[in-house]
Amino acid sequence: MKYQSTQFVIKTSKQCNLRCQYCYEFSELHKSDVMTMAQIESMYRHIESYYRSLEIPVAIHFIWHGGEPLLISPQFYWEALDLQAKIFASNHYQITNGVQTNLTILDDERLLLLAEGFDRVGVSVDIFGDLRVYENGRDSQARVLANMDRLREAEIPFGCITVLSKKNINNVEQIYQFYRKLGLSARLLPLHQTSNQGQNSGIEIDPHSVLKAFQTIFDLWLADEEFVWIVPVIEMVTEVLNFYDPSVACNFYDKREWEGINLVNITGDLYGYADAYEIDLSYGNLFTTPLGELFSGKKHEQSILAAEQRLEQTCVNCKFFGACCGYPIAENGYEYNELDPDGAIRCIVHKGMLQYIEYRLIEEGIINGGIVDLQRLKVAQVDREVQHV
Ligand code: SF4
Ligand code: SF4
């Protein structure tokens, strides 16, 4: 059965034992409030009633996020998962759960939760930069690496997220080698701009340095006989291959048709990915209002129109539009891009990477006369269907 996928990022609590300089939750990290089970039940029911009304079967991926989600008692998650299994019992759904953790706290109870409760575990670790520190300023990485060893010993699969900032962007080759050596997949996430002025002072990066870092990763990947899974570079390779493959149907991001990523704040306020925490742009409250009502509301329509306008201004003239669905511009908005005087966005990083990958594959003779020699790429391991969920 083919399921249409969507993702709900759930901000269960903002409390965290770390104080990473770039954290976009920084002002709330001391708050110990946690979503109540009654709120989680309303959220589930409001989500379920909407997807039940659709004819297509739906794969829903819940990502439990914070703050540090593992500060909360594992019992909380077992209850939330039990409740979820009851509410989404129909085979109309394929439900998975992931957790994004700083992995500084790992007792036996939490190890069991990661092994048997969650389907996916994401670990945040920057490898270089010393920005992931405890409240007293002490670096957390030694503890995280030791706990990653415990996950490996317990055979719990996990992937990592590394935030790229000025403190580690010149170390991307070592970061690549780190993940290669451990056989881990990773997502490189360029430093997120926060609304707190001055918070990222001294560690900001510009789109051109992000592009250069991703180009370095691609060159390492291309020359490597091992397959190292580094997102978003792998997704970009897939898009270039799809561009050259006439059998792959064009794929255009259509927010009006489908929301792939939804963020639920601890307050219940629901956001699209591009609009997170801009309360005026929230679609409304998922604790109190059914998802279908929020999706047909005025705020959702505004968000759709803004995404459509970004696609119209930037993507329709891009030669890769269709192989790249336009999501990076539609939902990432202005980050890691520059604006033309008429307000159009220049797609510095994503388009720059697609152009670079194409150029390098032609230079290496892997693309020749418009035909891709797949035997010369580790492409069999690439899932050719790019889904930004
Ligand atoms: S671990 Fe995550 S939530 Fe905690 S301070 Fe760092 S970035 Fe923020
Ligand atoms: S590469 Fe950039 S401009 Fe081109 S379609 Fe993708 S997001 Fe749009």
* pLDDT tens column, 357-369: 999 999 999 999 9
Residue 122 in tokens: 């994401």
248 close to 384: Cβ distance less than 8 angstroms: yes
Closest CA to 130 of 35, 292, 21, 211: 21
What mean pLDDT comes out for the span 338-360?
Answer: 91
Answer whether residue 338 shows pLDDT above 60.
Answer: yes
Q: Is the pLDDT of residue 387 over 80?
A: no
Kind of pairing, strands 338-339 and 284-285? unpaired
Closest C-alpha to ligand 1, atom 6: 20
Q: Ligand 1 pocket, 19 CB below 6 A?
A: yes
> What CATH code is assigned to 4-205?
3.20.20.70
pLDDT at 301 exceeding the cut of 90: yes
Distances (CA, A) of 268 to 78, 95, 258, 280, 291: 20, 20, 20, 14, 11
Q: Is the sign of the CA dihedral 115, 120, 121, 127 positive or negative?
A: positive
Residue with the larger pLDDT of the pair 264 and 197: 264
Q: Which of 192-196, 333-337, 341-345 has the highest mean pLDDT?
A: 341-345
| pLDDT on residue 276 | 85
- Which pLDDT score, from 0 to 100, does residue 388 have? 40
- 62 neighbors 84 (Cβ within 8 angstroms): yes
Structure confidence at residue 196 (pLDDT) = 78
Ligand 2 mutation target, pool 312, 317, 329, 357, most atoms within 8 A of CB? 329
Of ligand 2's listed atoms, the one at least distance from the Cα of 323 is 5
Q: How many CB atoms lie within 10 A of CB 299?
A: 18
278 or 265: whose pLDDT is higher?
Answer: 265
Q: Of the given ranges (16-20, 27-31, 50-54, 384-388), which has the lowest mean pLDDT?
A: 384-388
Residue among 210, 334, 337, 351 to mutate when testing ligand 2 (max atoms within 8 A of CB): 351
- pLDDT higher than threshold 60 for residue 56: yes
Q: Omega of the bond prior to 129 within 30 degrees of 0, cis?
A: no
Q: Does pLDDT of 334 surpass 80?
A: no
Ranges of each domain in the chain: 4-205, 206-223+230-252+299-389
How confident is residue 118, by pLDDT bands cut at 50, 70 and 90? very high
Confidence of residue 9 (pLDDT cuts 50, 70, 90): very high
